[in-house]
Structure 1
Amino acid sequence: MGPRINKKLAAVGVAAVVGVASTIALTSGSASASPVFGYSGYGIGVEAKGGVANSGPQTLSTINCTTNSSAKQSNDVAAVNVNDQSIARTVRTSTHAFNDKSGNGVTSDASAVDIKIGSLLHLTGVKTTTTAVYKNGKLSYTGNTTFAGVKIGNVSMPSLLRPEWNTKVAVPGLGYIVLNRVGGVKTESGIYSYAQAVVVHANVRNRYIPEGVDVAVLKTRAEISKPAVAVVFGDAYVTKANVDKLVTSGPTSYQATCKGTEGKTVRASVGEVDIKRVAYVGAAYTTKNGYQNDQRAAVTFTSHVAGVKVGNLKIGAINAEAYASKTKDGTYDVRWKSNIASITVNGKVYQVKTGVNSTLDIPGIAKLTFNQVKKQQRYVSVNALVIDVYSLNTKVVVGHAAAGVVG
């Protein structure tokens, strides 16, 4: 069974993708003592939540954790589907950063020729956009959606062509929709805004969308951070398992950031992780803590696991930590550490190795790789333990943490 997904669609970022931290580190610019801005945003065609219709974002355009004010991406597709039904046609999304007379910011757009749910709902000429801006020391945002046509059932609704923010409308035979869903959240380090053309809440049984499913169509987000010496980023998770390149589990207790946590520690816990036919992982959690301002930027990610069992292989508590920082004078600092309490097989105790990328082969059971580290001037990641299970051709990563600064 997969993880439960929060149905609150408004502010859920999709930028927290496993591996994004290392990509950013490898492509970041040269060191600079000047303040930098952090730009992030996305446009999504359709995303469904709830029941068996959970789907990842379709027609995705995204920029993430970049200090490049010229960053941009676009995407388009003929049609996007939910539950094997074509919901929107000729979908285009884009997101771009800017630094001009209007300030520093990000704009994300999405459009569709039409959005249709059988004979229950038909929206045409749909355009949605949101912008987050920093200018003259102030943060602000805008967002809006317009329609060329709105028809509910067989009734045209001209009053809804330019709806107010968060307009709720009943749709007989389906449930209800929210048109022009817009909002923004301001923090000490920046602001993000979102705009969604239509959010469909299917709370009536129908032939198009399973009852209990929410669908966001044309979903956008824009985020700008205040000027700082650097932008912090990173991620952490407890476990991830894959067979060759196919991910079979995880990442669990996953956390990421693109601007820190205002200096507060955020914890994500899990009671246990059962990777079917592969491994059992005891109680575990991850933490993140980061901040960025005009004097200093720093971030720490940690991962903690009570213990792991893979057949007769038993591994004690596992911990990993990654830290990165930059000060106003241009000094960088990156550190990592990890530890494993014990390793036993059928009561036989094996020595825990402490070197980077050191290995232990347990014949017929698994190869263990300790302290799998990738380190650069401004970025470090560590996998405390990687287990290659021979009989299943499966790789299990346990205790991952990564941290970096861009700027």
Structure 2
Amino acid sequence: MRPRIGYKKLAAVGVAAAVGVVSTIALTSGSASAAEVFGYSGYSIGTDAKSGLVNSGPQVLSQISCTTNPHASQSNDLATANVNNQAVAKTVTTDTHSFNDARGNGVTSNATAADIRLGSLLHITGAKTTTTAWYKDGKLQYTGSTTFASIRIGAVSLPNLLNPKPNTKIAIPGLGYVVLNRVGGVKTSTGIYSYAQAVVVHANVRNQFVPEGVDVAILKTRAEVTTPSIAMVTGEAYGTKANVDKLVTSGPTSYQATCQGTEGKTVRVSVGELNIPRVAFVGAVTTTKNGYIGKDKAAITFTSKTASVKVGNLAIGAIESSASAWKTKDGKVGLAYSSDVVSIRVGNKVYSVPNQPNATLNIPGIAKLTFNQVVRKDRFISVNALVIDVYSLNTKVIVGHSAAGVIG
């Protein structure tokens, strides 16, 4: 039989029981007449590669994740953003911030790059993309736009594309095509989110810059605001993230977050195999989110599933996690989580997985594995199904991350 590990903890009102290996039940409660709040969320990204064997998740990330603070902000910058070991964007800056002023309650996200280049195929200077979503006088609105100082495809300059119309598609010989100024917005019963992407590269021809079949978004922004509710739902999920000390070497894969839920629908994000150079090979990753906010209850669930991870001779089977949070109009709050790792193998040797939360497994000369890392607060819970500390590279790889909470 293959080794397997699974944990679950639940939160509900006034009962305690044992479920599986470990189970506890508890409850927090608050005022039944809490004031309604707004939720703000958004991000801006320098580059983001999807699908195929690539070495880049989101780079130059600035993000605010579901806050009720109308003055939250974050900014970031990087000299060069790389995709597939190519210097795709230079002098990249990103920022995102919430506001509550004459415009209403909302979020603005911006991203700029002095230079975007794919060899002699595509050269863009002075790129800027921005998006704003806001709520005022009972109405939800958004804007999004992209501008360029110059753009050249091959040897041809295209001044008519400096302020491109939304979703302008241009063929790139020897690469595939790009979409300029991809913008849009989605209104729901509980809020609005808008997005803008300066350049989206679709590589459908074999080339030296971007692997065939890979999509790369360059300067990617999103802004989100909710209508007033008893609580905001917050959290995130991703398959993997790698870093050396505090330096992120591979951003979150299949990343999802929310501030307004999904109107009770399941939203799924998947990517194919991922290569983290010199560190790990990651199988397909899928995350989901499902939640809602309203006058009587707010609830959210995130899940993460990674098909497999290989670090040298270390092979790890499917890794899964989930996290849930909810609040009712009488002020009661519940939290739940689970995590699961299927198997651990080095060559022909199969390792038994420690059957305790935060347990560790030391594989000499390869890595230390930590299982089921959980952080719990009054109204928030997060879990990492597996953390791999790679000895030779001083690198930490987080696998199977889910988090959920309620604010307000």
TM-score by length of 1: 0.66
Q: Is the 8 A contact 1:150 1:156 kept in 2?
A: yes
Which protein, 1 or 2, shows the higher relative CO under an 8 Å CA cutoff with sep ≥ 6?
A: 2
Which residue does 1:123 correspond to in 2? 124
Secondary structure in structure 1 of the residue aligned to 2:53 = helix
Cα drift, residue 225 of structure 1: 1.6
Q: Partners in 2 of 1:96 and 1:334 — Cα distance? A: 28
Which residue does 2:9 correspond to in 1? none
Secondary structure in structure 1 of the residue aligned to 2:48 = strand
Q: Partners in 2 of 1:212 and 1:106 — Cα distance? A: 33
Q: Is the 8 A contact 2:65 2:234 kept in 1?
A: no
User: Is 2:263 the partner of 1:262?
Assistant: yes
Which residue does 1:233 correspond to in 2? 234
Q: Is the 8 A contact 2:226 2:259 kept in 1?
A: no
Deviation track 1:130-164 (CA, whole Å, cap 9, x = no partner) reads 11111122212111111222222222222111111
Which residue does 1:82 correspond to in 2? 83
Secondary structure in structure 2 of the residue aligned to 1:212 = coil
Q: Partners in 1 of 2:257 and 2:84 — Cα distance? A: 30
Which residue does 2:102 correspond to in 1? 101
Deviation track 1:175-200 (CA, whole Å, cap 9, x = no partner) reads 22211111112222211111111112
> In structure 2, do the counterparts of structure 1 residues 137 and 168 end up closer, same or farther at CA, with 3 Å as the change threshold?
same
- Give the partner amino acid of 1:163: P
Equivalences for 1:241-252 in 2 at 5 Å?
A: none
Which residue does 2:48 correspond to in 1? 47
Cα drift, residue 93 of structure 1: 1.1
Cα drift, residue 87 of structure 1: 2.2
- Give the partner amino acid of 2:46: G
Q: Is the 8 A contact 2:115 2:123 kept in 1?
A: yes
Cα drift, residue 57 of structure 1: 1.6
Which residue does 2:167 correspond to in 1? 166
Cα drift, residue 264 of structure 1: 3.9
Q: Partners in 1 of 2:339 and 2:87 — Cα distance? A: 48
Which residue does 1:92 correspond to in 2? 93
User: Is 2:145 the partner of 1:148?
Assistant: no
> In structure 2, do the counterparts of structure 1 residues 323 and 44 end up closer, same or farther at CA, with 3 Å as the change threshold?
closer
Cα drift, residue 252 of structure 1: 10
- Give the partner amino acid of 2:143: T
Secondary structure in structure 2 of the residue aligned to 1:51 = coil
Q: Is the 8 A contact 1:164 1:180 kept in 2?
A: yes
User: Is 2:137 the partner of 1:175?
Assistant: no
> In structure 2, do the counterparts of structure 1 residues 51 and 124 end up closer, same or farther at CA, with 3 Å as the change threshold?
same
Q: Partners in 1 of 2:118 and 2:398 — Cα distance? A: 42
Q: Is the 8 A contact 1:234 1:257 kept in 2?
A: yes
> In structure 2, do the counterparts of structure 1 residues 59 and 379 end up closer, same or farther at CA, with 3 Å as the change threshold?
closer
Deviation track 1:92-135 (CA, whole Å, cap 9, x = no partner) reads 11111111111111111111222222222222222111111111
Equivalences for 1:348-387 in 2 at 5 Å?
A: 374-381=375-382
User: Is 2:398 the partner of 1:405?
Assistant: no
Q: Partners in 2 of 1:396 and 1:175 — Cα distance? A: 33
Which residue does 2:219 correspond to in 1? 218
Cα drift, residue 261 of structure 1: 2.8
> In structure 2, do the counterparts of structure 1 residues 104 and 171 end up closer, same or farther at CA, with 3 Å as the change threshold?
same
Which residue does 2:66 correspond to in 1? 65
Which residue does 1:365 correspond to in 2? none
Equivalences for 1:184-203 in 2 at 5 Å?
A: 184-203=185-204
- Amino-acid identity (%): 67
User: Is 2:104 the partner of 1:111?
Assistant: no
Q: Partners in 2 of 1:185 and 1:292 — Cα distance? A: 16
Which residue does 1:208 correspond to in 2? 209
- Give the partner amino acid of 1:91: V
> In structure 2, do the counterparts of structure 1 residues 297 and 59 end up closer, same or farther at CA, with 3 Å as the change threshold?
same
Secondary structure in structure 2 of the residue aligned to 1:259 = coil
Q: Partners in 1 of 2:109 and 2:177 — Cα distance? A: 26
Q: Partners in 2 of 1:369 and 1:207 — Cα distance? A: 38
Which residue does 2:300 correspond to in 1? 299
Q: Partners in 2 of 1:252 and 1:123 — Cα distance? A: 27
Larger displacement relative to structure 2 (320-329 or 157-166): 320-329
Q: Which runs of 5 or more structure 2 residues have no equivalent in the other structure?
A: 1-29, 271-285, 307-318, 342-354, 362-368, 390-395
User: Is 2:35 the partner of 1:37?
Assistant: no
Q: Is the 8 A contact 1:48 1:213 kept in 2?
A: yes
Q: Partners in 1 of 2:241 and 2:149 — Cα distance? A: 46
> In structure 2, do the counterparts of structure 1 residues 69 and 253 end up closer, same or farther at CA, with 3 Å as the change threshold?
closer
TM-score by length of 2: 0.66
- Give the partner amino acid of 1:145: T
Secondary structure in structure 2 of the residue aligned to 1:52 = coil
Q: Is the 8 A contact 1:148 1:161 kept in 2?
A: yes
Q: Is the 8 A contact 1:132 1:192 kept in 2?
A: yes
Q: Is the 8 A contact 1:333 1:377 kept in 2?
A: no
Deviation track 1:350-371 (CA, whole Å, cap 9, x = no partner) reads xx89xx88x899xxxxxx9998
Q: Which runs of 5 or more structure 1 residues have no equivalent in the other structure?
A: 1-29, 270-284, 306-317, 341-351, 362-367, 389-394
Q: Partners in 2 of 1:264 and 1:289 — Cα distance? A: 6
Q: Partners in 1 of 2:247 and 2:254 — Cα distance? A: 19
Q: Partners in 1 of 2:397 and 2:181 — Cα distance? A: 43
> In structure 2, do the counterparts of structure 1 residues 387 and 121 end up closer, same or farther at CA, with 3 Å as the change threshold?
closer
Q: Partners in 2 of 1:117 and 1:53 — Cα distance? A: 16
How many residues are aligned here? Answer: 374
